[in-house]
């Protein structure tokens, strides 16, 4: 191949990337603000065409998700935007893909501040099975908290409500047993679940009314992460799964 042939191939590649990106130019500008040029360069110059196509599908899904939820979007700070774009474009699991869609949508929404800078790195390290486990654990101990309290009372007939039952919302054994211990340890490593019932009491004494050896709790970080990976509409409703 001659130098002229190489130059022609480069120009054809640039044109192909330009055409591929055309459907999402508006959302790129909306999400990136002043960083729009850099995002365009990242998408156009440093990624192969197959990855750009994945990025386009991802951004189209973000745009659709925001529209369905009635959300207005703002530019996302580069330290959040670039890690999310980079990891989301490599994700081929549909369940995790939807979580990446929610994460960027929530990072760009104007009505709340749900996404911490560590969340892209956490999501990147999760399997779909781990993420679904965390979803079920969160729903069980928050959305379906009263049902979980009833189970705790039934299994602990001598437990006094004043002992802290209102906050001792351990994940049930049926959910814990659904995930291999190695993956539970990964969730612990990421501080998404804990064997200590948090938060601490006002006098800095740890509240722990249940045996830590056989109980897990969704940490405050884990709860925030679950919400960041779900899209709630402007009226406050959000998706959740039956525990």
Predicted TM-score (pTM) of the model is: 0.73
> With 90 as the cut, is the pLDDT of residue 30 above it?
no
> With 90 as the cut, is the pLDDT of residue 64 above it?
yes
| Calpha distance 72→200 (Å, rounded) | 36
| Calpha distance 68→47 (Å, rounded) | 29
Q: Which residue has the higher pLDDT, 112 or 101?
A: 101
> With 60 as the cut, is the pLDDT of residue 81 above it?
yes
Which residues, in sequence order, are CB contacts of 143 under 8 Å at separation 6+? 240, 243
Which of 31-35, 121-125, 228-232, 236-240 shows the lowest per-residue confidence on average (mean pLDDT)? Answer: 236-240
Report pLDDT for 55: 85
């Amino acid at each position: 191949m001659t130098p002229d042939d190489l130059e022609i191939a480069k120009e054809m590649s640039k044109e192909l990337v330009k055409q591929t990106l055309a459907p999402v130019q508006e959302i790129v500008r909306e999400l990136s603000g002043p960083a729009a040029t850099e995002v365009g360069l990242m998408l156009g110059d440093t990624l192969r065409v197959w990855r750009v196509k994945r990025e386009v599908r991802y951004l189209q899904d973000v745009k659709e998700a925001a529209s369905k939820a009635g959300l207005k979007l703002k530019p996302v700070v580069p330290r959040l935007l670039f890690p999310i774009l980079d990891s989301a474009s490599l994700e081929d699991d549909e369940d995790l893909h939807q979580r990446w869609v929610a994460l960027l949508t929530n990072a760009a929404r104007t009505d709340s501040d749900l996404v911490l800078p560590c969340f892209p790195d956490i999501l990147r390290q999760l399997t779909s099975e781990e993420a679904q486990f965390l979803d079920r654990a969160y729903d069980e101990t928050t959305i379906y908290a009263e049902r979980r309290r009833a189970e705790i009372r039934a299994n602990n007939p001598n437990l006094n409500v004043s002992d802290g039952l209102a906050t001792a919302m351990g994940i049930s054994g049926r959910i814990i047993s659904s995930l291999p211990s190695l993956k539970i340890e990964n969730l612990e490593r990421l501080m998404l679940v804990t064997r200590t019932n948090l938060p601490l009491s006002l006098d800095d004494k740890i509240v722990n009314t249940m045996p830590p050896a056989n109980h897990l709790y969704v940490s405050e970080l884990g709860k925030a992460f679950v919400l960041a990976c779900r899209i709630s509409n402007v009226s406050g409703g959000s998706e959740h799964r039956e525990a």
